Amino acid sequence: MFRKNLKKDPELFQNVSEGLKRLYRNKLFPLEDTYRFHDFHSPALEDADFDNKPMVLLVGQYSTGKTTFIRHLMEQDFPGMRIGPEPTTDSFIAVMHGEQDGVIPGNALVMPNAVLESISIIDTPGILSGEKQRISRGYDFAAVLEWFAERVDRIILLFDAHKLDISDEFSEVIRALKNHEDKMRVVLNKADQISTQQLMRVYGALMWSLGKIINTPEVQAYIISSLKKDMPSVFGKESKKKELIANLGETYHRIEKEHQISPGDFPNLAKMQELLNGQDFTKFAALKPKLLEAVEDMLANDIARLMAMVRQEEAAMPSQTVKGGAFEGVMTGPFGHGYGEGASEGIDELEWVVGRDKPTYDEIFYTLSPINGKVSGAAAKKEMLKSKLPNTVLGKIWKLADVDKDGLLDDDEFALANHLIKVKLEGHELPAALPEHLIPPSKRGSSLEA
């Protein structure tokens, strides 16, 4: 009955951010709170976690260029910026937008920069290579990094191509980030200063190190409810608690069999045993199927509807959402990304770009025995299949090339189809709609009328 009601009255959301916030508060938070997820793993999410502008976390060894990277993006210095070959940034610094330059107590920098109107950037202390320096930090660096990693939208791992030493602290950082690999992007800095052969060696070492990052979601509710069930109601609670903690591995194994859960989905055994030592088992909650059902319903129904809204919101957004600094002008003009390449080749030329290779395409066209100057779809298909492109791609090319939509190809349209095949074979993307400069000159008047 509970599930039927949920299906009859689906929640209505104004936008994705508001929808995620309500789903978390109404369906996921009750499950986390009941089984003390926040005591064992990460604090509860606040409204600000859903409403804030995207945050980017920069992580890397000391002197890899993290602060310089931020300066490059913003194309200006920022308050408190220090750059040098030695470890210069000694704290986590949030670089955010503000009307005037300034430093807010608590290591937050504000400045009027167009880039920061769209994103906030978190600069981190460099990862150190020596054990002595690591201990002298005075705080758990990996734990702080893990807290930030849970809340940011993108993690950029910055590496220096000249010094790829993997220290103990670096290994801790890898472990702290292992649940967030979907947010991570790797930047190999200063790569232009080494040879191709050296670059391949560095790349191989880097991939080997990062290969240890794996995804391990938690199964907190089953663990807590199982421990609650095994606790005595009156006598011997403390001794039973010690026994349950010592035999936690057996509890994992039992839950794995009962609920068909993968061994990799369980939290780290030693860490979990350490955390359980400070907990009062008598306050643990028994398993409440309704809480799990609510989360299952959220994943099956509500999230699916939100994903559809994500696509709608993305379509309504401008193509370039971050402006200013190094992002200025990257999408327009002859120096824009991909300008004059692939389907954009010949965009500012007077002559039809396909015309360069048209004599070659015409030779093939006339071997297909055109009737009234056109070849059928069957004849063109046989030739197009020689490209070995998937049928779905060839279908899109046919749709783009058949400008007059008559189901046949004349010599210009056939040449256009072959040009688009070449574009795809060279590794470029096909356009969603045929750009104006690719429309055959003979079709330009009729295509505009259509």
Alpha-carbon separation of residue 411 from 33, 226, 399 (angstroms): 68, 73, 16
Residue 31 within any structural domain of the chain:
no
DSSP 311-367: HHHHHHS-S----SGGGTTSSSSTTSTTTTSGGGTTTT-SS-GGGGGHHHHHHHHHH
Residue 289 within any structural domain of the chain:
no
Greater pLDDT, 29 or 373: 373
**What tokens appear for 170 in the block?**
């670096």
Each residue of 420-432: pLDDT tens digit? 999 888 888 788 7
Please check whether residues 56 and 198 belong to one and the same domain.
Answer: yes
**Would you state the pLDDT for residue 238?**
72
**What tokens appear for 22 in the block?**
């309500």
Rounded CA-CA distance 46/55 in Å is 15
**Would you state the pLDDT for residue 415?**
92
- Give the number of domains in the chain: 2
Each residue of 285-306: pLDDT tens digit? 677 777 777 777 777 777 767 7
**Would you state the pLDDT for residue 4?**
44
Domain stop point among 210, 237, 256: 210
430 Cβ contact partners less than 8 Å away, ≥ 6 residues apart: 343, 393, 396, 397, 400, 420, 423, 424
Q: What is the mean pLDDT of residues 242-256?
A: 79
Residue 318 within any structural domain of the chain:
no
Paired strand residues for 95: 109, 121
Please report where in the chains the tokens 């409440």 appear, as a residue.
Answer: 288
Claim: this prediction has a pTM higher than 0.85 = no
Report the CATH number that the domain containing residue 52 is assigned in CATH: 3.40.50.300
Tell whether the model's pLDDT for residue 387 goes beyond 60.
Answer: yes
Please check whether residues 203 and 349 belong to one and the same domain.
Answer: no
Closest-CA residue to 142 (of 157, 119, 124)? 124
Domain stop point among 182, 210, 238: 210
Residue 310 within any structural domain of the chain:
no
Residue 19 within any structural domain of the chain:
no
Q: What is the mean pLDDT of residues 418-445?
A: 85
Domain stop point among 157, 187, 210: 210
Residue 154 within any structural domain of the chain:
yes
**Would you state the pLDDT for residue 420?**
92
DSSP 27-57: IIHHHHHHTTHHHHS-PPPPHHHHHSPPEEE
Domain that holds residue 118: 48-210
**Would you state the pLDDT for residue 235?**
53
Report the CATH number that the domain containing residue 444 is assigned in CATH: 1.10.238.10
pLDDT band, residue 443 (cuts 50/70/90)? confident
Residue 348 within any structural domain of the chain:
yes
Tell whether the model's pLDDT for residue 134 goes beyond 60.
Answer: no
Residue 224 within any structural domain of the chain:
no
